[in-house]
Each structure stands twice: as C-alpha cells, then as structure tokens.
C-alpha cells in the first residue's frame, strides 16, 4: 500500500484538490486522509447497482512512477489474438484467420505464416484464439492453442496441440484434444485462453455463445458453455476435478457461471488462478477462480443488455452460493488477455495484474492486495488500440498485441 499513496492524519476539516494530478480525499475530522488519485473511470455508469463491498469497482487511481518506455516492434500482424515469448526471446503470435507467426523482436521482422494448424472458423469472434507453450517447450517444441472449429451443425471452441517443426515452417501432428459441447450455430463468445498449471495440466476458458438460449447453459454442468475447464495434455479431465463424481456433470469443469472469459493467469506468489470475463454492458469482471464455484452468469451480473434492458428475473447482482467478482467495470473495460507482472525491471509493478482492454483502448494495471483490487491505472491509453493479449518476457518486459496488428514492448 505504501507505494500507492501516503497517508496522514488531520484534525481539521480539509480541502479538495492539491494539484491537477492528485486529489486529497477528505473523510471527516480526525480520520485518515489519503493522498491518492481519483478513480480512472470518470464516465457515468450504466446502472445504479450497488457493489457488494467497498472497492469492488472504481477503486483509487494509481500512477506508475518508474520511467518506462513503449516501442512498436511491428505493426504488420494480421489480427493477432494470442502472444507468448519463445525461449530465445522471439514472440510467437496467433493470427485470428488461422496461422501462427514468429516476430523477431530485435528487428521487428515477421516469419512466414506457420502452417499445419486445423482450419478455423474466423467469422466474427471466432478463429484462431489463445496459445501457450509446453512447460518443456525447449525439448518437446509443443504448442497448445484454442480455436473455433466448424462442423456441419455449427461450431465450438476446441483445444489443440502440435509440435513446432525444427525449421519453424509448420506445426507437425496437430491434434484436437478437446471440443466444447454442444456444438452451436453462432459466431460469438468462445472464451479461448489456455494456460498450464504447475502440474503440467491445462486450464482453458470456454464462452457461453452469447444467445439467450445458450447463456443459461453457463449454469448447466452438463455443457461446456460458460466454464473454465481443467484437462490433461490429452484432453482428459484432470483427476480430482470438482464434479468428477457428480451425475450429469462434465468432469472437465473446474468453475462455471461464466460469460465470455478471455483472460486467465496464475498469481505469481499465491499461485491462485484468476480470470477476467467480458460482461454485458457494464458487467466486465475480474474473478478469483476456485474449484467448483459458480460465478453467477446469467443469474447475477452488474451489467445490462447492450440494448439497455435489464438482465435476470429477478434483476439481482448478488446471490448466496454465487461468487462475487473481485472487481468489476462499469461502463467498460472489454477485458481480453491478461498477465501478472513477475519481472524485476519495474519493481512497483511486481505482482500487479495487466489486462488488455478492447473497446476501452487501454491496458488496465491493477494493484492487488489480499485478493482485493486497491489501485487501478490505465496504460497505453493514448494509442487508440484494442489490446487483445498481453504477456511477459523473461527479462521483465511486457508484450502486448492489438487488433490493429501491432506488437508493443513495454520496458524501462
Ligand atoms: Ca460473475
């Protein structure tokens, strides 16, 4: 907390503003006054819903004091969706239309399209989505990714794996290891991030396909819609998953009641799993993911429909047995890929969460303490980009890719 704002005690009534960037918030006589920034969000909220606890939204603003620089490494990517650093420091990127590319950070040069991946359905929000490297990539060269697979009856989120050939021109032996069920004829809300846990198993996020008849399946344990799943590298449910012994429940499910989760990351110190999800209008969420828990969609939400009507019958934001988001945004972040900062380059960022924002055109930096968000900053807010994914390099840089085709490096 000390890095965020200093505190002082006052015994008299106080003032409002000290300078353009800093606001002293008066509480009352003899109470602590915090020298802090106002919340970064200044627009009107879509609703007058009350948060479940103080600090669940519009937290104190913070500002990075360590100087850092951003550089556009390339602007020639074609709708990149996921990015990860290779062991030698180059960046492997998924392009939404269905291929991979490697960016050489030193000179910004792009590889040819890496072929060999299964065909994707790249209409609307579908396509080639997130990716991750095998924990033993240096030896096995295995890559795992999510994509939209088209079949006769529609499409579904699928998870696949394959080996990057030694000449880096193709993916060898690409294999689909998991298919979300049921297949649905739609074009929205696939989820699509994959991440390894410390035991060498995968977590993946699966969206609820958006439509009114599919979103209710986020509460149905017999479907993959609106779930975070936990599978082995062969696509089997991980032993010990919360519903493995429950009738009419899919054993790969780890958590449920999600809308369109497009970011997932482990906290570097606590090892806890965090996820964000793209909410309706005003209901983007950050959640702390625990096994077997219900995250409430579409029963509880802080958002409303895009057309402005309310969601739920009754319209509620809290319910026993359903988890509250750690934090939510209203009007919007449009969260996508995210990463915790575990580098040493910018000490004040240690363990902070960075979330790519799409419609909001910035990266949200969140300071988290004791599983609560205690500070928020907007990074790269002047670039006018939709930030689709963000990942960390081993030397403490952050890399982010945008829908506009840019790869940025952020470092000091
Ligand atoms: Ca929720």
Q: Identify the CA nearest to 220 among candidates 192, 198, 185, 248.
A: 248
Q: Is 60 exceeded by the pLDDT of residue 2? A: no
Residue 189 falls in the annotated catalytic set: yes
pLDDT grade for 35, boundaries at 50, 70 and 90: low
User: What is the b/e burial string over 172-208, where b = at least 16 CB atoms within 10 angstroms of the residue's CB?
Assistant: eebeebbbbbebbebbbbbbbbbbbeeeebbbbbbbb
Instruction: For residue 65, report the distance from its CA to the centre of ligand 1, in Å.
Output: 33
Instruction: For residue 410, report the distance from its CA to the centre of ligand 1, in Å.
Output: 31
Instruction: For residue 374, report the distance from its CA to the centre of ligand 1, in Å.
Output: 20
Instruction: For residue 194, report the distance from its CA to the centre of ligand 1, in Å.
Output: 20
What is the per-residue pLDDT across 101-150, written as a single tens digit (0 to 9) for each? 999 999 999 999 999 999 999 999 999 999 999 999 999 999 999 999 99
CATH of range 74-411; options 3.40.50.2020, 3.30.160.160, 1.20.950.20, 2.120.10.30: 2.120.10.30
Average pLDDT along the chain? 92
Q: Is 90 exceeded by the pLDDT of residue 92? A: yes
At 299 the pLDDT is: 98
At 395 the pLDDT is: 93
Q: Is 80 exceeded by the pLDDT of residue 388? A: yes
Residues paired with 69 in a beta bridge: 411
What is the per-residue pLDDT across 323-357, written as a single tens digit (0 to 9) for each? 999 999 999 999 999 999 999 999 999 999 999 99
Q: Is 80 exceeded by the pLDDT of residue 194? A: yes
Q: C-alpha angle 341/23/12, rounded to 5°? A: 130
What is the per-residue pLDDT across 255-292, written as a single tens digit (0 to 9) for each? 999 999 999 999 999 999 999 999 999 999 999 999 99
At 36 the pLDDT is: 81
Domain edges within the chain = 74-411
Evaluate whether 341 touches 351 at the Cβ level (below 8 Å): yes
Q: Look at the pTM and tell me if it is higher than 0.85.
A: yes
* More confident site: 253 or 8: 253
Q: Is 60 exceeded by the pLDDT of residue 34? A: no
Instruction: For residue 357, report the distance from its CA to the centre of ligand 1, in Å.
Output: 18
Q: Retrieve residue 412's tokens.
A: 């000091």
Instruction: For residue 351, report the distance from its CA to the centre of ligand 1, in Å.
Output: 23
At 3 the pLDDT is: 36
Q: What is the DSSP string of 136-167?
A: THHHH-EEEEEEEEEETTEEEEEEEEEEEPTT
Instruction: For residue 111, report the distance from its CA to the centre of ligand 1, in Å.
Output: 40
Percentage above 70 pLDDT, the chain: 92
Catalytic hit among 189, 230, 258, 362 = 189
Pairing of strands 128-133, 99-103: unpaired
Instruction: For residue 322, report the distance from its CA to the centre of ligand 1, in Å.
Output: 8
Instruction: For residue 314, report the distance from its CA to the centre of ligand 1, in Å.
Output: 16
């Amino acid at each position: 907390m000390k890095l965020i704002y200093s505190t002082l005690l006052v015994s008299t009534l106080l003032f409002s503003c000290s300078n353009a960037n800093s606001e002293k918030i008066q509480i009352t006589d003899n109470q602590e006054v915090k020298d802090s920034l106002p919340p970064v969000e200044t627009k009107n909220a879509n609703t007058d819903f009350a948060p479940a606890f103080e600090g669940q939204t519009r937290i104190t603003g913070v500002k990075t004091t360590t100087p850092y620089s951003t550089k556009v490494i390339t602007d020639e990517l074609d709708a990149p969706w996921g990015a990860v650093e290779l062991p030698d420091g180059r960046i492997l990127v998924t392009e939404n239309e269905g291929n991979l590319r490697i960016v050489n950070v030193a000179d910004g040069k792009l590889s040819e399209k890496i072929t060999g991946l299964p065909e994707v359905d790249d209409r609307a929000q579908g396509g080639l989505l997130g990716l991750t490297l095998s924990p033993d990539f240096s030896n096995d060269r295995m890559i795992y990714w999510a994509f939209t697979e088209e079949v006769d009856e529609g499409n579904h989120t699928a998870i696949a794996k394959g080996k990057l050939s030694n000449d880096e021109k193709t993916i060898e032996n690409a294999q689909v290891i998991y298919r979300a069920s049921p297949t649905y004829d739609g074009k929205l809300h696939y989820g699509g991030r994959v991440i390894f846990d410390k035991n060498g198993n995968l977590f993946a996020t699966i969206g609820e396909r958006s439509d009114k008849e599919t979103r209710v399946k986020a509460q149905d344990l017999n479907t993959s819609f609106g779930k975070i799943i936990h599978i082995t590298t062969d696509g089997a449910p991980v032993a010990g998953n919360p519903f493995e012994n429950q009738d009419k429940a899919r054993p790969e499910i780890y958590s449920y009641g999600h809308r369109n989760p497009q970011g997932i990351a482990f906290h570097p110190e606590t090892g806890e799993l965090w996820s964000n999800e793209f909410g309706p209008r005003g209901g983007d969420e950050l959640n702390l993911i625990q096994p077997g828990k219900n995250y409430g969609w579409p029963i509880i939400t802080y958002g409303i429909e895009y057309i402005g009507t309310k969601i739920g019958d009754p319209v509620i934001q809290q319910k026993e047995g359903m988890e509250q988001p750690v934090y939510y945004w209203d009007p919007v972040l449009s969260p996508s890929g995210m990463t915790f900062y575990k580098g040493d380059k910018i000490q004040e960022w240690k363990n902070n969460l960075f979330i790519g924002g799409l419609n909001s055109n910035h990266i949200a930096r969140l300071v988290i303490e004791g599983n609560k968000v205690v500070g928020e900053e907007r990074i790269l807010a002047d670039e006018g980009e939709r930030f689709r994914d963000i990942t960390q390099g081993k030397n403490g840089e952050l890399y982010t890719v945008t829908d506009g085709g840019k790869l940025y490096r952020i470092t000091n």
